[in-house]
Structure formats: C-alpha cells, structure tokens
Amino acid sequence: MTDAALTEILAGIYEPDENGRRPPECLYGSVKMWEHLNRHGITVARCTVERLMRAHGWRGVTRARTVRTTIPDPGHTRAPDLVRRNFTAGRPGQLHVADFTYVPLDGGGFGYTAFVIDAFAGLVAGWECSLSKQTAFVERAIRQAAAVLGRWRLTDLTLVVTLEPCTMCAGAVTAARLGRLVYGAEDPKAGAVGSLWDVLRDRRLNHRPEVIGGVLASECGALLREFFSARRPHGG
C-alpha cells in the first residue's frame, strides 16, 4: 500500500469528520493502530504506521504523563527526614505520612489530592482536593487529620482483657480505633481474634490494632473457670 493511500485511511480515523467526531480508534497509538489495520486486512509494516503518524502529528492517548508535583523552594531549609525513609509502623497511631498526587482532568489540566495515612492501619485520617498544587492545600489535609486524631480515636490506649474478644467486642475495638489489645486465654468457641475468626487482622478493615494474645493464658483460664464454676455449679 502506498503512503498516500495509508495516509488517507489514517486521516479518516484521527481527523474529525464534518460533525467534529472521530471514531474510538482515534485513541490508538502507533502499535495498536498497526494491529488494528492488520486485523482488517490492511497489511502494512509497523514502522510505516509510526512514520506516517509522526509526520502528521497523530498520537494516541497515553497515561505516561510526567508531572512534577513537588517543587522545592530554594529559599527554605528542607525538612528533616524524621523516619530515615522507613515508613513502617508497629501499631496504629505510631506513624502518619502525608503526600499528594494528581489526576488528569477531561477538560485539560490536573486535579490534586493530598492525604494523610496511618502507616500501620492504612486509615486515611485527612484529605483535601485542589486545582492547584500550593502548599496550603496539603497543610489543610494535615490539619484535618490532626483534628480527627485528637477527637475520638483511642489509638494511644491499650485494652487488657482476660479472654479473647468475641465478634461484637472485636468490632467495638475496631470502631474505637483502639491502638492495642492484650488478652490472656483463647476462646475456641467464640473468639474473634484468631480462634474462630480473626476480625482485628482482616486487611479489608480500615483499622487494625496491635494484638498481643496468650499473656498469662493459663492463669487467665484458671481465673475464668473458677469464676464461672462458682456461678454454674451444675455445669452447662
């Protein structure tokens, strides 16, 4: 096929018609367009498609956009690296990290989203959206997270119980964003922290507290048996 004939075919795909419309194939880059043409019986070399598209300025849609989201101010001192690039945490509330990213908009340009995340639990404690990448909108996300974390979450508290929590109690621990749970004896009949279920370590939840089980398990078990045997003299 001659260059002129192939150019006419490509123009019918990449150039708008009399109504300003183009077919869905106009989104294809050179590789997909070459495959598309060959599927429809138009035998052509890939390099030819690339050359003609480049010559006429026809390009497909690509996600490979380079956007610089963070531009340092040379007049300011860089903030210290407090965690030495180690963004792992051993419990909820121990480390929160902030960052922001961008999303291309249909009408052109970009939208930006800043967020603050608990490095252990994956909880998004604060977020903010903006059409500009100014420092202020990131600071608003941080202030929002500080207000949330300072109000009702119990990430700095430890709950100590003698028996492994059931599903209802485990749900309450998660809802309260408790930082740590310590329990003694396991409950094979109704335990929800590893015995029958494992609610608190379910990665689908937005909060997973630190769990320490089996602490003085024998002593706790004996204490529970003594307590209930005094109230259930006939068993059951």
Does the active-site annotation cover 139?
A: yes
For residues 207 and 148, what is the distance between their CA atoms, to the nearest angstrom?
14
**Of 211, 203, 204, 220, the residue nearest 170 (C-alpha):** 211
Angle, CA 161 vertex, CA 159 and CA 166 arms, to 5°:
100
Contact 56, 10 (CB under 8 A): yes
For residues 111 and 133, what is the distance between their CA atoms, to the nearest angstrom?
9
For residues 210 and 178, what is the distance between their CA atoms, to the nearest angstrom?
9
Task: Point out the catalytic residue in the list 8, 15, 35, 139.
Answer: 139
**Catalytic residue positions, numbered:** 139
